Amino acid sequence: MAQYPEDLKRVIDLLLEHNEWRRKLSVNLIAAENVMSPLAELVYLNDMMGRYAEGTVGRRYYRGTKYVDLLEGALSKEFAEILGAKYVDVRPISGTIANLAAFHGLAPEGGVIASLPTRAGGHISHNPVGGPKALKFKVVELPWDLEAFNVDVDKARRIIEENRPNIVVLGASLYLFPHPVKEIAEVAHSVGSYLLHDSAHVFGLIVGGKFPNPLKEGADVTTSSTHKTFPGPQGGLIASSLEGEMNESISKGVFPVFTSNYHMHRYASTYVTLIEMKHFGAQYAEQIVRNAKALAEALHANGFEVVAEHLGFTRTHQVALDVSKLGGGERVSELLERANIIVNKNMLPWDKSAVKPSGIRLGVQEATRWGMREDDMVEIAGFFKELLLDGREPEDVRKKVVEFRSRFLEIHYGYAADKELALRLLGGLGIKL
C-alpha cells in the first residue's frame, strides 16, 4: 500500500472493515437496502459525479450536458415503457425528494393530504413530522383495518369524501400486502383528489411482475427509490399517468424547488440495473416473495409471533415480528446485530412509540440477491430461535452466522464486470492500476 498519512489510512481501514462485515460476515435483513451487481457498481464510478445539469433534457442551464441528456432521456423512456407511464422523472435523488416534488406539483401550499400514520406503515415523508410540514400541508389519517392488515376502505371513503384532500397517499414502509389502489382511486377521483402510490419498497417487485402496478390500478402518480427491491444505486423516481400540465408542475417540483444537482453518476448504474431487471427481474422477484414466505413460516414454526398469520404473513419482501414479549424492537435488534444479523426496530399498528416499538421488520431482498433460497431462510430462522428464544450467547450464534454467510459471496440476478472493462472505464477517468 502507498505511504498514506495515518489519518487517511484509518479512513481506508474503516471502509474495508465495513465492507468485510457487511458483505462477507453478516446477514442483512434491512428491508430498505440492497446491493448492486458488479457491473452496476463499476459504472457508478464515472465523471458525472462532479457535474451539474440543472434543468431538463434539452433545456439545461449549463453546457457540457449532451451525454447527460442522452442517458437521462433514455433511462426515463425505458422506465416509462415498463411502467406504462406517460411521464417519468429520474432526477430526484431519493424517494423522499420524489414524494416532496410530487406533493408540491399536485397540491397548493396549505393543501390537504390523506395518508397512513407511521404506526400503520406510512413513511415519515407522508406524515406531519416530515415533508408535509415543510409544505404547510394539513395531514388527514387514513384508517387501518387491523384484521385485514390494510387500509379500511369503507372508513377511508368517508374520510376522503368529508375532507376532500388534494392528494391521497398509499404505499408504505411496513408493506406486507398490496393496498386497495383501485378502490381508493375511485373514491379519490370522485372528489377531485389525486392518488399517489409510494412504491419505494415494492418497486422491484412491480418491475418483476410480482406486485400490482399502481398506475394500472388507477394511481395518478407513483414515486419510488431505486435501491430496495429494485437493486440499483440510491436515488428516486416519479412516474405519472397524468397529462402535460400536471407533469410540468411535478417537474418544477424537482427543479428548481427541491434539487439543483441530480447526482447524475447514478444514472448509468440505474440503467444497468433496469436492463438486469428486464432479463432477471421476474425470477428475482419470484424468489424474493418465496423467501419472505419461507422465512415467516419458519419463524412462526419456531415459536415467534409473526404478524398477519391469518393472512399468510406476507405477499412482499417483508416479514414483521411482534417481539414485545422478548423486550421490544430496540433490545431484539441490538441482540441480533451482535450476532451479525442486521434488522431494524419498527412500529406496529398498536404501538404508540417509534423509539420503543414492539416490532422488528425483516426484508429478504438482499439475502435473495446473494443467492439464498427457501431452505436458507429456515436456517436463518434457526439463528433467531437460538439467540432470542433459547438464550444462546450472541457471540456463539455469530460464529454460525459467519460460517453460513461464507456460502453466499456471489451476487445473483445481475451481470459481472470483467477486468478489461474495468481498466477501460477507470482509464477514462485517468486512473491507472
Please name the amino acid found at residue 12.
I
Quote the Cα angle for 245-249-228, to 5°. 115
Single pTM value for the model:
0.97
Q: What is the pLDDT of residues 152-207, one digit of tens each?
A: 999 999 999 999 999 999 999 999 999 999 999 999 999 999 999 999 999 999 99
Residue 268: per-residue pLDDT: 98
User: Residue 351 falls within a domain, yes or no?
Assistant: no
Residue 367: per-residue pLDDT: 98
User: Residue 133 falls within a domain, yes or no?
Assistant: yes
Instruction: Compute, in degrees rounded to 10, the torsion defined by CA atoms 226, 228, 230, 234.
Output: 30
What stretches of 186-287 adopt beta strand conformation (E)? Answer: 194-198, 221-225, 236-240
| Residues 44, 33: Cα–Cα separation, whole Å | 17
| Residues 83, 202: Cα–Cα separation, whole Å | 13
User: Residue 332 falls within a domain, yes or no?
Assistant: no
Q: Helices 244-252 and 95-106: crossing angle, nearest 10°? A: 130
User: Residue 138 falls within a domain, yes or no?
Assistant: yes
- Percent of the chain at pLDDT > 70 equals 100
Residue 29 near residue 228 (C-beta atoms within 8 A) = no
Q: Is 167 left (phi over 0), alpha (psi -120 to 50) or beta?
A: beta
Q: What share of the chain is helix, strand, coil (3-state, %, to 5)?
A: 50, 15, 40
Q: For the beta carbon of residue 20, count every other beta carbon within 10 angstroms.
A: 11
User: Residue 95 falls within a domain, yes or no?
Assistant: yes
> Residue 72 is inside which H or E element, if any?
helix 66-83
pLDDT, averaged across the chain: 97
Q: What is the pLDDT of residues 119-145, one digit of tens each?
A: 999 999 999 989 899 899 999 999 999
| Residues 365, 359: Cα–Cα separation, whole Å | 19
Query: Which domain CATH number covers 260?
Result: 3.40.640.10
Q: Which long-range contacts (CB under 8 A, 24 or more apart) does 139-144 make?
A: 139/112, 139/113, 139/114, 139/115, 140/112, 140/113, 140/114, 140/115, 140/165, 141/114, 141/115, 141/116, 141/117, 142/114, 142/115, 142/116, 142/168, 142/169, 144/116, 144/117, 144/120, 144/349
> Residue 385 is inside which H or E element, if any?
none
* 355-to-334, 341, 345, 386 alpha-carbon distances in Å: 13, 20, 9, 26
Question: Quick one: cell of 174?
Answer: 411496513
Question: Quick one: cell of 86?
Answer: 406517460
Residue 1: per-residue pLDDT: 57
| Residues 70, 134: Cα–Cα separation, whole Å | 34
Instruction: Compute, in degrees rounded to 10, the torsion defined by CA atoms 45, 47, 50, 53.
Output: -120
Question: Quick one: cell of 184?
Answer: 381508493
| Residues 78, 84: Cα–Cα separation, whole Å | 10
* 347-to-60, 87, 286, 352 alpha-carbon distances in Å: 43, 34, 27, 8
Q: What is the pLDDT of residues 260-294, one digit of tens each?
A: 999 999 999 999 999 999 999 999 999 999 999 99
User: Residue 19 falls within a domain, yes or no?
Assistant: no
Confidence of residue 310 (pLDDT cuts 50, 70, 90): very high
Domain containing residue 135 = 47-272
Question: Quick one: cell of 91?
Answer: 432526477
Residue 239 near residue 222 (C-beta atoms within 8 A) = yes
* Of the listed ranges 171-185, 225-239, 384-398, 417-431, the one predicted with least confidence: 417-431
Name the β-bridge partners of 344. 361
At residue 227, does pLDDT exceed 80? yes
Confidence of residue 432 (pLDDT cuts 50, 70, 90): confident
Residue 131: per-residue pLDDT: 87
Residue 3: per-residue pLDDT: 83
| Residues 202, 365: Cα–Cα separation, whole Å | 10
At residue 244, does pLDDT exceed 90? no
Number of domains in the chain: 1
Q: Are strands 359-363 and 344-346 parallel, antiparallel or unpaired?
A: antiparallel
Compute the average pLDDT of residues 399-425: 96
User: Residue 212 falls within a domain, yes or no?
Assistant: yes
User: Residue 231 falls within a domain, yes or no?
Assistant: yes
Residue 165 near residue 115 (C-beta atoms within 8 A) = no
| Residues 173, 169: Cα–Cα separation, whole Å | 12
Residue 292: per-residue pLDDT: 98
Residue 233: per-residue pLDDT: 98
Residue 48 near residue 38 (C-beta atoms within 8 A) = no
Please name the amino acid found at residue 270.
T
